Chains A and B, each alone.
Chain A
């Protein structure tokens, strides 16, 4: 019973926070909305008995990703300031497409027979340990795991490389070549 209430509360909070995250003009506040959603997600993970993932979610998303976003906002002057509209001109189209997506998804979930299913079996209390072993077992998931780490390394190096160089060009746009000639 308590779990129901927690779930209902947290998911409501998450949806509201998500709305804040996508609508608030102020980027830092939007990020805070995101953080709330991420945190709510961690709570849902706990409800789903995925404790390891819940903690990993907090560490990686809140501890790393959200901080990174905030940092990027801070590093770029004026970006964090709230001015101008939050959406571009064609935002109505986005509403249409997202709405279509929502209708489709809800329809799908509502008509899916397994959607109101109960869990088949309880989670092994030793699950985290087994997961750790499966992640590095040669016959388990070591290759996806290593690929993920290689991806992270590549992303790290790439990010450093991309963010390192490049000087700011005077004026808002670089001139396009044809315009220069004209």
Chain B
């Protein structure tokens, strides 16, 4: 098969699987997951073939002549709106991680939804499975039960995979947007998968509405781009001449160039999809969906799509930034990214829900990437995108495995505890060794554990670029965020896996079935190994030994637009800083949280002033020092400043003030204007309103022809107007 044909076919199997499951196979769980997994394996196979072929072509050649094919979508007079497929090095690496994570998540979902378990005792559609009673060896006990909407899950998730593939292989922004919206729909459906839970419904709506805000701006950007250039295909739009022209014509607002303004609009789309401040609010709530969904949304696909988009339109942003007369969008992007990175990291420190910590961490890591794009380090951003996809998918799936194990324990013991709260866990490393080791690898990658993990290399590269480009504000913000990242990661690992079980449930937790552990193992290979393809040149010793593949590969894409910067003498400061913050954070996290032994114990950081005394008896003065020096401020920043003050007091305060104001206004109106009026002229007013109602009621006659008449009359009037102006002017 030719490359182009393969590219065309790539998104189709999941779509087909979706259709098949929805239309025919939804009665059979086995057929549903078989078809779904088969479809994504097919897509995976195609992706791998394409990836290998792309490798064979080589970065330079592929960037010069990307695999590209297109069809007429709508024949128009001047420009042909075409749909097509496109594969350049950036697409290739994106396809690589998308294909792998999607397959892993699909396989994992089989285990997560308890395939092979009996039907639940009182499970119903729209609620998570509650467990089933089975009789074994003469006595009854509870085991997990199969998800009642098993087939539906696979249908949705297949559609989701289709959306992602469509987005990645499309050669223009319109189909990209189509894929983007399909994913938006699927994330809505999947977050609200257990639709009878109030919270899930709310979360689904919240996610949908919040991302919508970004999408509208993005659509505006796309429309503006189409108006400005007459095309949406990458090959047309990212033509140096077109870019030059766009960058030199002023946009009507904000003192920006057209390129910058379009870039900013598209970036707002990214802000929504990739959950950047201030549109980050939906992502933590999206944890209401099943865990594979969280992995899907927060790691492999949807949030990555935002960053993918912004890397994809990087030439536009770059061109805009090059022209000094106009305001550049880049600092805005850098600021939002860096701020989000720090802001989300501080929140993550104070969370107890295992998935919620990861959610905030995702926001923070996406902030890293966005900040990297904002300082012009798109290669570093892409690199972190890929490594993050792997280790965050791993972490989410790992957390799902933990929750699953805990649920098993909860069902067994009948305790009424939250299986997602880390304080209820502890000591799981012995119960769930595979989950533990893989989670450890993922966590270390997230924390940027030096040299061996992928996260280190990508994060280090971002820090290095920031330092080299003299973006010191970004650099230090990201460094602090990295420290916090390492800290909360270790906190999570410590609370979950280390120490002793703090509840009965944790004691009875189980390792999960192979369908869940195998994906974890596969992903952990990538979480470690993927970093080794992108070791920077200047890195001592290893830089010379290991390939510098990723930088060359992705770097080749935008070669045309971005002049290669002269080799800056890379200092070792960022390297040292990144090693320091990562190791420091990890150590800190471990040291602070290893003492948690009871489930109802308050967080060591949250200890109010009183119990400090009791703590003093403890021999960990070291803890206190750290707590005082770093942790408490960090916690304060997280809890008091960011959460209570910024979030609760300021943002909520404004909202409440508005609410109170309007309520008061309403009271005022009611008491001093409305009631007297009603007393005085109530009847007259009522009659008047009724009269008006009667009058206007005639408009809504419910008759088709009436509406048609009015519509046609307007059309006629409008046409006459148009004609009048067209001929007069």
Residues of A within 8 A of B (CB): 88, 90, 93-94, 97, 100-101, 104, 107-108, 111, 138-144
Q: Given contacts A90-B709, A139-B71, A143-B72, could you give 19 more A-B pairs where the C-beta distance is less than 8 Å? A: A88-B705, A90-B705, A93-B709, A94-B705, A94-B709, A97-B712, A100-B713, A100-B716, A100-B717, A104-B716, A107-B723, A108-B719, A111-B727, A140-B72, A141-B72, A142-B71, A143-B73, A143-B74, A144-B75
Residues from chain B with a CB closer than 8 A to the CB of A104 are: 716, 719-720, 723
Query: Would you give 22 A-B contacts (Cβ < 8 Å), ordered by A?
Result: A90-B705, A90-B706, A94-B705, A94-B709, A97-B709, A97-B712, A97-B716, A100-B713, A100-B716, A100-B717, A101-B712, A104-B716, A104-B719, A104-B720, A107-B723, A108-B719, A108-B723, A138-B71, A139-B72, A141-B72, A142-B71, A143-B71
Question: What residues of chain B lie closer than 8 Å to A108, measured between beta carbons?
Answer: 719, 723
How far is it, in angstroms, between the C-alpha of A105 and the C-alpha of B709 when the chains are bound?
Answer: 17
A contact residues around B712 at 8 Å (CB)? 97, 101
Residues of B contacting A111 in the complex (Cβ-Cβ under 8 angstroms):
727
Closest Cβ of chain A to B190, distance in Å, is 26
| Cα separation A142 to B71 with both chains bound (whole Å) | 9
CA distance A108 to B720 in the complex (A): 9
Complex Cα distance, B716 from A100, in Å, reads: 7
Q: For B720, list chain A residues within 8 Å (CB).
A: 100, 104
CB-CB < 8 A to B71: which residues of A?
Answer: 138-139, 142-143
Q: Quick check: A101 and B723 within 8 Å, CB to CB?
A: no
Nearest residue (CB) in A for B70 is: A139
Query: Does B713 lie within 8 Å of A97, measured CB to CB?
Result: yes
Cβ < 8 Å to A, chain B residues 670-729: 705-706, 709, 712-713, 716-717, 719-720, 723, 727
A38 to chain B, nearest CB (A): 22
Chain B residues closer than 8 Å to A138, beta-carbon distance: 71
B712 → A minimal CB distance (Å): 5
With both beta carbons as reference points, the residue of chain A lying nearest to B715 in the complex is identified as: A101
Closest chain A CB from B187 CB (angstroms): 27
**A101 CA / B712 CA spacing, docked (Å):** 8
State A58–B648 Cα separation when bound (angstroms): 71
Among residues of B, the one whose C-beta sits closest to the C-beta of A93 is: B709
Q: How far apart are the CA atoms of A100 and B723 in the complex, in Å?
A: 14
Cβ–Cβ < 8 Å partners of A139 in chain B: 71-72
- In the complex, A139→B71 CA distance in Å? 6
A158 CB to closest chain B CB, in angstroms? 16
Number of A-B residue pairs at CB separation under 8 A: 38
Minimum CB–CB distance for B622 against chain A, Å: 69
Determine the chain B residues whose CB is within 8 A of the CB of A93 once the complex forms: 709
Interchain nearest-CB distance for B168 vs A (Å): 21
Chain B residues within 8 Å of A, Cβ to Cβ: 71-75, 705-706, 709, 712-713, 716-717, 719-720, 723, 727
Q: How far is the CB of B667 from chain A (nearest CB, A)?
A: 32
Task: Report A84 CB to chain B, min CB distance, Å.
Answer: 16
Residue of B nearest to A143 (CB): B73
Contacts of A100 in B (CB 8 A): 713, 716-717, 720
Which residue of chain B has its CB nearest to the CB of A137? B72
Nearest A-chain residue to B720, judged by Cβ: A104
Once the chains are docked, how many angstroms separate the CA of A144 from the CA of B74? 7
Shortest Cβ distance from residue B213 to the other chain A in the assembled complex, whole angstroms: 31
| B727 neighbours in A (Cβ, 8 Å) | 111
Chain B residue contacts of A144, Cβ below 8 A: 74-75
A142 contacts which chain B residues (CB < 8 A)?
Answer: 71
In the A-B complex, the 3 residue pairs with the closest CB atoms: A100-B716, A97-B713, A101-B716
A residues near B706, Cβ cutoff 8 Å: 90
Q: Shortest CB–CB separation between residue A50 and chain B, in angstroms?
A: 18
Neighbouring B residues of A107 by C-beta, 8 Å: 723
Bound CA–CA A140/B51 (angstroms): 30
Shortest C-beta distance, B682 to chain A (Å), equals 24
Closest-CB distance, B620 to chain A (whole angstroms): 69
Q: What is the minimal beta-carbon distance from B24 to any residue of chain A, in angstroms?
A: 16
Least CB distance from B352 to A in Å reads: 49
- What are the residues of chain A within 8 A of B713 when measuring CB–CB? 97, 100
Chain A residues with CB below 8 A from B705, complex form:
88, 90, 94
Give the shortest distance, in Å, between A24 (CB) and chain B (any CB): 18
| Distance (whole angstroms) from the CB of A96 to the closest CB of chain B | 8
Which residue of chain B has the shortest Cβ distance to A111 in the bound complex?
B727
Closest to B714 in A: A97
Complex interface: chain B residues within 8 A of A143 (CB): 71-74
Q: Within the complex, which residue of A88, A94, A101, A141 is in contact with B75, where a contact is CB–CB below 8 Å? A: A141
A101 to B713, CA, bound (A): 8
CA A108 – CA B716 in complex, angstroms?
12
Q: Which residues of chain A come closer than 8 Å to B72, judged between CB atoms?
A: 139-141, 143
**Nearest CB on A from B19, distance (A):** 13
Which residue of chain B has its CB nearest to the CB of A97?
A: B713
> How far is A94 from B716 in the complex, measured between Cα atoms in Å?
12
Chain B nearest CB from A94 CB (Å) reads 6
Residues of A within 8 A of B73 (CB): 143
Residue of A nearest to B705 (CB): A88
CA–CA, A144 and B80, complex, Å: 13
Compute how far the CA of A144 lies from the CA of B706 in the bound complex, rounded to whole angstroms. Answer: 33
- List A contacts of B74 (CB < 8 A): 143-144
Give min CB distance, B718 to chain A, whole Å: 10
- Measured between alpha carbons, how far is A14 from B727 in the docked complex, in Å? 32
Interchain CA distance A107-B723 in the complex, whole Å: 10
**Chain B nearest CB: distance from A131 CB in Å?**
14
Q: In the assembly, what is the distance between CA of A97 and CA of B72, in Å?
A: 39
A180 to B712, CA, bound (A): 36
Q: Which residues of chain B have C-beta atoms less than 8 A from A94's C-beta? A: 705, 709
Within the complex, the shortest CB–CB distance from A106 to chain B, in Å, comes to 12
User: Which residue of chain A is the closest to B80 with respect to CB atoms?
Assistant: A139
Chain A, residue nearest B72 (CB): A139
C-alpha spacing A94/B707, complex, angstroms: 11
**Bound-state Cα–Cα, A88 to B708, Å:** 14
What separation, in Å, do the CA atoms of A107 and B705 have in the docked complex? Answer: 26
CA distance A97 to B710 in the complex (A): 9
Q: What's the nearest-Cβ distance from chain A to residue B171, in Å?
A: 15
In the complex, what distance in Å separates the CA atom of A143 from the CA atom of B709?
34
Residues on A with C-beta less than 8 A from B75 are 141, 144
Q: How far is the CA of A143 from the CA of B71 in the complex (A)?
A: 9
A93–B720 Cα distance when bound, in Å, is 18
Task: Chain A residues near B717: list those with CB within 8 A.
Answer: 100
B710 to chain A, nearest CB (A): 9
Q: How far is the CA of A168 from the CA of B719 in the complex (A)?
A: 43
Chain A: minimal CB distance from B170 (Å): 15
Docked pose: A118 CA to B72 CA in angstroms: 31
Closest beta carbon of chain B to A60's beta carbon, Å: 22
Closest chain A residue, CB of each to CB of B83: A143
Q: How far is the CA of A111 from the CA of B727 in the complex (A)?
A: 10
In the complex formed, the residue of A with least CB distance to B712 is: A97
Instruction: With both chains docked as a complex, state the minimum distance between the C-beta of A138 and any C-beta of chain B, in angstroms.
Output: 6
- Collect the chain A residues with CB atoms within 8 Å of residue B716's CB: 97, 100-101, 104
Residues in chain B near residue A90, CB distance under 8 A: 705-706, 709
**B7–chain A nearest beta-carbon distance, Å:** 14
A93 to B716, CA, bound (A): 13
Distance between Cα atoms of A94 and B73 in the complex (Å): 38
Name the CB-closest residue of A to B717.
Answer: A100
Distance in angstroms from A135 CB to nearest chain B CB is 12
Interchain CA distance A141-B73 in the complex, whole Å: 8
Docked pose: A104 CA to B713 CA in angstroms: 12
With the chains together, A100 CA to B74 CA distance in Å? 33
Q: How far is the CB of B393 from chain A (nearest CB, A)?
A: 35
CB distance from B233 to the nearest CB of A (A): 15
Minimum Cβ distance to chain B for residue A179 (Å): 14
Please, how many angstroms separate the alpha-carbon atoms of A143 and B712 in the complex?
A: 31
Cα distance A107–B72 in the bound complex, in angstroms:
36
- Bound together, the chains give a CA A93 to CA B75 distance in angstroms of 39
> Closest residue to B723 on the A side, CB-wise?
A108
A94 to B72, CA, bound (A): 41
Docked Cα-Cα span, A139 to B80, in Å, equals 11
